[in-house]
Amino acid sequence: MAEKLSAVKGMNDILPASVPRKEILPRAATWQWFDEVVHRVMARYGYQYIVTPVVEPTQLFVRGIGEVTDIVEKEMYSFTDSMNGDKLTLRPEATAGIVRAVVEHNALYNGPLRVWTAGPMFRHERPQKGRYRQFHQLDVEALGYAGPDVDAELILMGRALWRELGLVEGEHYRLEIGTLGQPAERLVHRAALVAHFEKHIDLLDAEAKARLHTNPLRILDTKNPAMQEMVESAPKLMDFLGEESKQHFDTLRRLLDAAGQPYRINTRLVRGMDYYNLTVFEWTTDRLGSQGTICGGGRYDGLIEQMGGKAAPAIGFGLGIERLLLLLQEIDVPVPGRAPDAYCVVPSQAALIRSVPVVESLRAAGLKVIVHSGGGSQKSQMKKADASGADHALVFDEETASLVVKPLRNRDAQPQSIALDDPVIAERALAAMRA
């Protein structure tokens, strides 16, 4: 017997409900339901679907995310193409690829663009609950829009998605917002930060010391308890903002207030990529332990020009799908059933042949119909029909030359019999099931 192979560590199979499993990830039906909800919400806000490659040039992420970020330094799956020597990377996030596509295809030629995508991303991290080496992300981007009105739109879109999924604000999630100002303002703040941290150099851990002169803003995001008091006393970026940056943030707050959206201002809110400016935000939960961020995003007005395009503002967010679905599972949000409408019982080959045109007509009418395969008695097939969760069993009985439409969930409803030679048998079966 050949050796049994397993999935790569930190990369998971998403299985149907009928397959026994040990992993904690939600089943495929939950993913399908989430996908349907996302499509509805995106359509309501006027966002178009886009797909970009899973593999991109490594330089795209070095230039876009930042050479001294954790993602680029430690987490990317990069390799050299054996055919031509190109340096390639499995995408660790979606924004850089979308911006590359927008620049390459001159997608803003006719004006601003609202887009979204969803799919697998890859980071070489230590796998843990809600954090995997292959993970899936919903990514939403508004490109060519400069105002805080679109910042608010994206935040309120997130709220609409949470509500559609059955999450309750305050109980299951909360919103934190902040601002990173503009690059020139951050440079002044950065110098003040470095001076502050140098005064407390003995309190910095090894990671903070390594970041001190390359990315000191990331030190503010430390989880080291011994550094918290020192970090809390560090200069606040808010104190270095110019009037335009302050006005942008104040208008965003007024828009959220007008929409009745609660939020907490987090002056230490930083994102893992270098390209952010002005508005940043996170949706967080305390129901998943240390993996508390379920969605984060912000404005990146300089990235399009940095990628070789004509300067244009932009904002977006990314949502970890596994982490969000684990939250839904943790709080036991009911997922709508995906059971078939009917299960077709065919106790003989002749019955199976008679069933084909009827079943195909019902499927064409939009019904979900499973036809029993593998033989077995009518009694055993009826057990399968009941276990499938179907609303009706369609029993093709050759002995009585009839199709019996048998209700399986409504025990008070009566079975209906239709002659197999009835010229409109499919229409009568459909009417019986919808009665």
Q: Residue 18's pLDDT band (boundaries 50, 70, 90)?
A: confident
pTM recorded for the entire structure: 0.86
pLDDT of 314 strictly over 70: yes
Domain final residue pick, 330, 350, 373:
330
Let me know if residue 210 belongs to a domain.
no
Residue 323: its H or E element: helix 321-330
Let me know if residue 409 belongs to a domain.
yes
Q: Looking at residues 154-173, what average pLDDT do you find?
A: 95
Q: Identify whether residues 178 and 311 lie together within a single domain.
A: yes
Residues of 270-300 as b/e, b for ≥16 C-beta within 10 angstroms? bbbbbbbbbbbbbbbbebbeebbbbbbbbbb
Q: Identify whether residues 258 and 358 lie together within a single domain.
A: no
Q: Looking at residues 274-293, what average pLDDT do you find?
A: 86
pLDDT of 68 strictly over 70: no
CATH number at residue 403: 3.40.50.800
Q: Identify whether residues 317 and 375 lie together within a single domain.
A: no
Q: Identify whether residues 424 and 299 lie together within a single domain.
A: no
Q: Identify whether residues 322 and 355 lie together within a single domain.
A: no
Domain final residue pick, 330, 363, 392:
330
For residue 41, what pLDDT is reported?
Answer: 97
User: pLDDT digits over 124-139, tens only?
Assistant: 988 887 788 999 999 9
Range 20-26, long-range pairs (CB < 8 A, 24+ positions):
24/129, 24/326, 24/329, 25/322, 25/325, 25/326, 26/325, 26/326, 26/328, 26/329
CATH number at residue 165: 3.30.930.10
Let me know if residue 188 belongs to a domain.
no
Q: Identify whether residues 161 and 297 lie together within a single domain.
A: yes
Domains identified in the chain, total number: 2
Instruction: State the residue range of the domain holding 67.
Output: 28-182+242-330
pLDDT of 39 strictly over 80: yes
DSSP state of 321: H
User: pLDDT digits over 336-391, tens only?
Assistant: 878 899 999 999 999 999 999 999 999 999 999 999 998 899 999 999 999 999 99
Q: Identify whether residues 141 and 268 lie together within a single domain.
A: yes
The answer to whether the CB of 235 falls within 8 A of the CB of 192 is: yes
For residue 23, what pLDDT is reported?
Answer: 61
Q: Identify whether residues 308 and 373 lie together within a single domain.
A: no
Please name every residue paired with 382 in a beta bridge, in sequence order, or none if there are none.
none
pLDDT of 176 strictly over 70: yes
User: pLDDT digits over 224-240, tens only?
Assistant: 999 999 999 999 888 99
For residue 283, what pLDDT is reported?
Answer: 96
Q: Identify whether residues 417 and 317 lie together within a single domain.
A: no
Let me know if residue 18 belongs to a domain.
no
For residue 274, what pLDDT is reported?
Answer: 65
Q: Identify whether residues 174 and 77 lie together within a single domain.
A: yes
Let me know if residue 421 belongs to a domain.
yes
Let me know if residue 217 belongs to a domain.
no
User: pLDDT digits over 190-218, tens only?
Assistant: 999 999 999 999 999 999 999 898 888 88
Q: Measured between alpha carbons, how far is residue 131 from residues 30, 64, 120, 223 in Å?
A: 18, 23, 13, 17
Q: How far apart are CA 82 and CA 239, in angstroms?
A: 51
Domain final residue pick, 304, 330, 356:
330
